[in-house]
């Protein structure tokens, strides 16, 4: 395996379209729930332990070889918002294209073929990490970091927040992210024996509700 | 009460009686979980869960099972809210609800709120297994703390399977000791009531319900399967019930 592949995959400039999504930050800013770096930190911490943990566990499980179809169905069941399911599939479709160009593999080809509208993004991320020779924990880190870096970057634009402050938020979350990555991998190992139903199902009601509200706006800066 | 906490188990079985009505061949339970048959409207059976004690307290283990057999119709409510309280026994209390709805059967599971009082520690798991062609209306409402009180620790997992496929699996963790950010802008943002209404209908397979928002803090969401989830957060139990009722009326 190449450790540097993790840097390529986690790089914000990796051409997979993630920059167009705010991870729910746009709705939370508009609702007046994020008004400062402190609010952003609280938002990111909540997202890390809910949607982030689920994404990390799905991605790690895909690296371990849990069938992507099972993981995609588990992701559907853990994503009641149709707006979020749609966004996750669009992101998955974009990632599978970039991933096949970067780490050609039969498993990525099969994923693209079996899910023409895109599989859930964390599932694609895990299959990509597997194709790149990365470990389950690497995929979990990637998914968890994206769950907080997306909202942080978006909030810089939405609130004209000082980028130094936003980066400070991410740095302060790092120890919690380490622990969440361990939890995600442990859960993924369970899922290998028990099936995808054993994966965490942590949810943030306002992430789902905010996504539905956001999807109905006529004009928005971010796709989700 | 022993130091190990109370064990309570209630069982309800509803069966078509062959004359268009529903019989209740099994209606078991006592103490904190006593099911009582009440007067029905229409051809279904109605059961009220009557709690003869408070609880669950720390260390308690409650379990309720309801099975609705082919062609039967059952509606279950509760006489009062369930109040999770701190107990003398160590460890969390657990409350398991297991619902099984057979083909052509219908279950309305509409208990009153679960109130998580300060200092309590409760884990609730609700699993509904719904056969193809069965109907379900399931409501869960969590109230975090009594008036002016901090909430206890609450973990609530809700899993709904339709024809063997999981259409909803979600867990909410809140209160002291829950993962960070639970009261922040991604999860509850200071709201003290949170609720879920799940409706499973075979006709959603052909004509899925349309997604719609009910204000900024509630939404009706078609799931990946013949079911919808209405999810809502609200400042209090009254406002929460109002929006869940409104959503149910919208579904017709």
Each residue of B22-45: pLDDT tens digit?
A: 999 999 998 888 999 998 777 799
Tell me, what's the pLDDT at B2?
46
Residue A127 located in a structural domain: yes
Residue B34 located in a structural domain: yes
Residue A32 located in a structural domain: yes
Residue A45 located in a structural domain: yes
pLDDT higher than 90, residue B5: no
Q: Is the ipTM value over 0.90, yes or no?
A: yes
Q: Are the C-beta atoms of B91 and B58 separated by less than 8 Å?
A: yes
B206 at interface of A, judged by CB pairs closer than 8 A: no
Q: Which of B83-87, B184-188, B248-252 has the highest mean pLDDT?
A: B184-188
Give residue A45's domain range: 4-214
Chain Cα centroid distance, residue B18: 29
Q: Are the C-beta atoms of B40 and B73 separated by less than 8 Å?
A: no
Tell me, what's the pLDDT at A17?
83
pLDDT higher than 80, residue B55: no
A70 at interface of B, judged by CB pairs closer than 8 A: no
Residue A135 located in a structural domain: yes
Q: Are the C-beta atoms of B231 and A209 separated by less than 8 Å?
A: yes
Distance from CA of A46 to the nearest CA of B (A): 4
Tell me, what's the pLDDT at B158?
98
Residues 109-168 of B with CB under 8 A from A: 157, 159, 165-168
Residue A74 to residue B223, Cβ atoms within 8 A? no
Residue B246 located in a structural domain: yes
Tell me, what's the pLDDT at B3?
55
Q: Are the C-beta atoms of B21 and B29 separated by less than 8 Å?
A: no
Contacts of A49 in chain B (CB under 8 A): 179-182
Which is nearest to A94 in space by CA: A119, A61, A130?
A119
Contacts of A39 in chain B (CB under 8 A): 184-185
Of B50-59, B154-163, B218-227, least confident by mean pLDDT is: B50-59
Tell me, what's the pLDDT at A3?
86
- Residue holding tokens 């870096």? A149
How many contacts, defined by CB atoms under 8 Å, are there between A and B?
A: 131
Q: Are the C-beta atoms of B195 and B142 separated by less than 8 Å?
A: yes
pLDDT tens-place string over residues B69-113: 999 999 999 999 999 999 887 789 999 999 999 999 999 999 999
Q: CA B224 to CA A94: how far, in whole Å?
A: 22
Residue B74 located in a structural domain: yes
Tell me, what's the pLDDT at B32?
84
What's the mean pLDDT when you consider all of chain B? 94
pLDDT higher than 50, residue B15: yes
A24 at interface of B, judged by CB pairs closer than 8 A: yes
Q: CA B75 to CA B45: how far, in whole Å?
A: 6
Query: Where residue A119 sits, what CATH number does that domain have?
Result: 1.10.4190.10
* pLDDT over 70, % of chain B: 98
* pLDDT over 90, % of chain B: 85
**Number of domains observed in the structure of chain A:** 1
Q: Are the C-beta atoms of A16 and A88 separated by less than 8 Å?
A: no
Cα separation values, B196 from A16, A73, B161, B171, Å:
34, 21, 15, 11
Residue A221 located in a structural domain: no
Residue B2 located in a structural domain: no
Confidence of residue B1 (pLDDT cuts 50, 70, 90): very low
Helices (H), A82-204: 82-102, 106-114, 121-131, 136-159, 163-194
Q: CA B111 to CA B142: how far, in whole Å?
A: 11
A128 at interface of B, judged by CB pairs closer than 8 A: no
Confidence of residue B6 (pLDDT cuts 50, 70, 90): confident
Give residue B144's domain range: 7-251
Residue A223 located in a structural domain: no
Residue B211 to residue A83, Cβ atoms within 8 A? yes
Q: Which two tokens stand for residue B249?
A: 């009326």
Residue A131 located in a structural domain: yes
pLDDT higher than 50, residue B233: yes
Confidence of residue B167 (pLDDT cuts 50, 70, 90): very high
Tell me, what's the pLDDT at B57?
87
Report the interhelical angle of A37-47 vs A163-194 (nearest 10°). Answer: 10
Q: Report residues of chain A scoring pLDDT below 70.
A: 1
**Number of domains observed in the structure of chain B:** 1
A45 at interface of B, judged by CB pairs closer than 8 A: yes
Contacts of A33 in chain B (CB under 8 A): 185, 189
Residue A219 located in a structural domain: no
């Amino acid at each position: 395996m190449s450790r540097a592949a993790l840097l390529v995959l986690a790089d914000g400039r990796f051409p997979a379209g993630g920059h167009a999504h705010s991870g729910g930050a746009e709705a939370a800013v508009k609702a007046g729930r994020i008004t400062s770096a402190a609010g952003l930190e609280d938002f990111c911490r909540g997202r890390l332990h809910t949607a982030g943990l689920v994404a990390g566990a799905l991605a790690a499980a895909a690296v371990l070889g849990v069938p992507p179809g099972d993981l995609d169905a588990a992701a559907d069941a853990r994503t009641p918002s149709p707006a979020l399911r749609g966004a996750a599939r669009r992101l998955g479709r974009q990632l599978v294209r970039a991933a096949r160009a970067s780490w050609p593999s039969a498993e990525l080809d099969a994923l693209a073929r079996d899910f023409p509208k895109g599989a859930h993004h964390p599932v694609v991320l895990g299959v990509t990490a597997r194709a790149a020779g990365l470990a389950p924990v690497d995929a979990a880190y990637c998914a968890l970091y994206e769950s907080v870096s997306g909202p942080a970057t978006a909030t810089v634009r939405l609130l004209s927040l000082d980028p130094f402050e936003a980066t400070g938020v991410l740095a302060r979350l790092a120890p919690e992210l380490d622990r969440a990555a361990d939890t995600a991998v442990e859960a993924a190992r369970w899922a290998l024996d028990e099936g995808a139903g054993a994966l965490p199902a942590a949810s943030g009601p306002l992430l789902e509700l905010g996504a539905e509200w956001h999807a109905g706006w006529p004009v928005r800066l971010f796709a989700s | 009460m022993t130091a190990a906490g109370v064990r309570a188990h209630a069982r309800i079985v509803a069966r078509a009686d062959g004359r268009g009505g529903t019989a209740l061949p099994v209606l078991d339970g006592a103490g904190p979980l006593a099911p009582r048959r009440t007067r029905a409207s229409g051809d279904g059976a109605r059961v009220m869960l009557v709690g003869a004690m408070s609880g669950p307290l720390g260390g308690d283990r409650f379990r309720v099972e309801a099975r609705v057999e082919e062609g039967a119709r059952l509606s279950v409510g509760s006489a009062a809210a369930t109040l999770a309280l701190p107990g003398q026994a160590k460890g969390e209390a657990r409350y398991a609800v297991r619902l099984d709805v057979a083909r052509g059967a219908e279950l309305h599971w509409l208990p009153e709120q679960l109130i998580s009082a300060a200092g309590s520690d409760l884990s609730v798991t609700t699993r509904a297994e719904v056969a193809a062609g069965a109907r379900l209306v399931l409501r869960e409402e969590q109230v975090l703390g009594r008036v002016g009180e901090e909430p206890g620790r609450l973990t609530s997992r809700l899993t709904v399977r339709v024809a063997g496929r999981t259409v909803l699996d979600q867990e909410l963790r809140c209160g002291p000791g829950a993962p960070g950010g639970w009261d922040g802008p991604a999860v509850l943002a200071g709201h003290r009531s949170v609720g879920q209404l799940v409706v499973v209908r075979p006709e959603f397979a052909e004509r899925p319900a349309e997604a719609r928002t009910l204000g900024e803090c509630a939404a009706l969401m078609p799931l990946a399967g013949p079911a919808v989830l209405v999810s809502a957060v609200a400042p209090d139990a009254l406002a929460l019930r109002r929006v869940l009722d409104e959503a149910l009326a919208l579904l017709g």
